[in-house]
């Protein structure tokens, strides 16, 4: 873990390519990959100072690695935060955050449409250790405000959500959190810093699953938390040292290189997603399309203001059907007729992916929980990649046209 230097004079696109470039004595132009678990110390006294935290220097792979540090510094520069800490997965970033910030008797407020494993982790696992949680509407700021208690330490939001792309008002939630003496964490997985920098709206911690768009080509799992120097080095890092949800250097290197193309990928994938969303809206078999860049989206204006005028690469749509059974059958038909688009519940790949949330990502929820989350049997989610839009349309048309 190393700290970022201020890069006030450079644009995010430039930072994505050049930030945190530390060359070895060989002068390599592409970032080196340091695969090592240990570090040879120059002498015993230096080793003692490094282990004692009195001197900077690598001691052991769980505590730091030059490749991992580069990835952390580059991501922090792009998010506009002072520092970042990388983790093995997105979920382990959330685990680290909760372990570091919460103790028995503390209270967390989250949206009830957050990532399923996040809800399970906070409500069930941390519930076991005496952490209280309240789940509220993604979009109703009054519900967030009303849920705050004297022991509330953390508000945790994700915007836009999966699969409905509901958008929350980051600035409004930051104000509620800070008034209560709590922190606001934002899961920025769907937009990435290329489209949305939550710190500009007052968020204290940014959560990432590097598995998604930061890698961007579906190769590795990774995660990260971005925040102030104090939060990262004094609150998060000590827990990481004991708990060890460390990111592997190889995975850090893949993400580090992925960050270089993040901006153009998010732009190109957002453009394709918008074209598909508009096309889907015009299809007679489709009841509704959920995508932030459509004027029909419930929080369209807020989304455009928070997300650099872009919708991101994830959209979902609902098929017309007489009842839930027929809706599910129709959704399966569309999935099973896609050839170019992969049937895969992941997202954040340059390959377009299609999924049926009600039977996969939201399959562990009860029917009542699914209804609260707005995930119906006729809903199909698309994570749009980099293929030509005409090919994606033709792929979807094959299923839609034979319903
Ligand atoms: C995938 C995802 C996560 C979890 O990340 P992993 O890398 O799979 O552990 C967290 N939040 C959101 C919004 C996600 O899409």
Residues 287 and 192 grouped into a single domain: no
Nearest CA to ligand 1 atom 4: 90
Task: For residue 393, give the nearest of 350, 346, 351, 338 by alpha carbon.
Answer: 338
Q: How far is the CA of 115 from the centre of ligand 1 (A)?
A: 7
Nearest ligand 1 atom to alpha carbon 346: 1
Residues 274 and 326 in one domain: yes
The pLDDT value recorded for residue 61 is 95
Domain range for 362? 263-400
How much distance in Å is there from the Cα of 402 to the middle of ligand 1? 34
Burial of residue 349 (CB within 10 Å: 0-12, 13-18, 19+) is buried
Nearest ligand 1 atom to the CA of 94 is 10
Domain end call among 216, 243, 259: 259
What's the number of domains the chain is made of? 2
Ligand 1 pocket test, candidate residues 86, 87, 93, 117, most atoms within 8 A of CB: 117
- Contact yes or no for 350/265 (Cβ under 8 A): yes
Q: How confident is the model at residue 366 (pLDDT cuts 50, 70, 90)?
A: confident
Over 80: is that where the pLDDT of 5 sits? no
Q: Are strands 83-87 and 223-227 parallel, antiparallel or unpaired?
A: antiparallel
Please say whether the beta carbons of 287 and 326 come within 8 A: no
Q: What percentage of the chain carries pLDDT values higher than 70?
A: 98
Is-contact 218 258, C-beta < 8 A? no
Same-domain status, 12 and 149: yes
Q: Where does the pLDDT of residue 231 fall: very low under 50, low under 70, confident under 90, or very high at 90 and above?
A: very high
Q: Which of 198, 233, 259 is the last residue of a domain?
A: 259
Q: Which amino acids bring their CB within 6 angstroms of ligand 1? A: 89-91, 115, 158, 162, 187, 189, 209, 211-212, 221, 223
- What's the pTM? 0.95
Q: Is 121 in the same domain as 246?
A: yes
Ligand 1 center to residue 279 CA distance, Å?
28
68 and 125 share one domain? yes
Q: How far is the CA of 303 from the centre of ligand 1 (A)?
A: 21
Task: Give 143's contacts (C-beta < 8 A, 6+ positions apart).
Answer: 136, 137
Residue 157 and residue 80 in one domain:
yes
The DSSP line for 235-274 is IIHHHHHHH--PPPHHHHHHHHHHHHTHHHHHHHHHHHHH
* The predicted structure's pLDDT at residue 7: 57
| pLDDT of 1 higher than 50 | no
Q: Between 368 and 105, whose confidence is greater?
A: 105
Q: Domain holding 165: CATH number? A: 3.40.640.10
Domain end point (choices 259, 279, 298): 259
Q: Are residues 74 and 199 in the same domain?
A: yes
Co-location of 273 and 169 in the same domain: no
Task: Choose which residue among 162, 186, 212, 248 to substitute to test ligand 1 binding: the one with the highest number of ligand atoms within 8 A of its C-beta.
Answer: 212
Reply yes or no on whether the pLDDT at 56 is more than 80: yes
Q: Residue 8: which pLDDT band, with cuts at 50, 70 and 90?
A: low
Regarding whether 293 and 194 lie in a shared domain, the answer is no
List the single range of 17-31, 57-71, 263-277, 289-303 with lowest mean pLDDT: 17-31
């Amino acid at each position: 873990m190393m700290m970022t230097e201020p890069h006030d004079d450079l644009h995010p696109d430039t930072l994505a390519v050049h930030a945190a470039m530390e060359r070895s004595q060989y002068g390599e132009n592409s970032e080196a990959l340091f695969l090592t678990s240990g570090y040879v110390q120059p002498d015993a006294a230096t080793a003692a100072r490094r282990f004692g935290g009195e001197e900077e220097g690598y001691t052991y792979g769980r505590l730091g690695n030059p490749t991992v540090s580069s990835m952390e510094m580059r991501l922090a520069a792009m998010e506009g935060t002072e520092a970042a800490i990388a983790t093995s997965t997105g979920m382990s970033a959330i685990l680290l955050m909760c372990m570091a910030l919460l103790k028995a008797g503390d209270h967390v407020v989250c949206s009830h449409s957050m990532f399923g494993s996040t809800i399970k982790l906070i409500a069930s696992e941390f519930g076991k250790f005496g952490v209280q949680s309240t789940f509220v509407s993604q979009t109703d700021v009054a519900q967030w405000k009303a849920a705050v208690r004297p022991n509330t330490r953390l508000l945790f939001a994700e915007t836009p959500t999966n699969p409905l792309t509901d958008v929350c008002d980051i600035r409004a939630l930051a104000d509620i959190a800070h008034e209560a003496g709590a922190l606001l964490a934002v899961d920025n997985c769907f937009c990435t810093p290329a489209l949305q920098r939550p710190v500009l709206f007052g968020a204290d911690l940014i959560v990432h699953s590097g598995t998604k768009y930061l890698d961007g080509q579906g190769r590795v799992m990774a995660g990260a938390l971005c925040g102030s120097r104090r939060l990262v080095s004094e609150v998060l890092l000590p827990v990481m040292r004991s708990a060890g949800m460390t990111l592997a250097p190889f995975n850090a290197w893949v993400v580090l290189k992925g960050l270089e193309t993040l901006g153009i990928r998010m732009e190109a994938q957002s453009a394709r997603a918008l074209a598909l969303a508009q096309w889907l809206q015009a299809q007679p078999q489709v009841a509704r399309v959920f995508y932030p860049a459509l004027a029909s989206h419930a929080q369209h204006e807020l989304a455009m203001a928070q997300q650099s005028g872009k919708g991101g690469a994830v959209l979902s749509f609902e098929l017309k059907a007489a009842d839930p059974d027929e809706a599910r059958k129709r959704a399966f038909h569309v999935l099973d007729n896609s050839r170019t688009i992969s049937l895969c519940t992941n997202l954040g790949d340059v390959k377009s992916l299609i999924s049926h949330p009600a039977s996969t990502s939201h399959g562990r929820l009860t029917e009542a929980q699914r209804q609260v989350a707005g995930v119906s049997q006729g809903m199909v989610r698309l994570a749009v990649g980099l293929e030509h839009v005409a090919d994606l349309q033709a792929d979807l048309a094959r299923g839609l046209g034979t319903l």
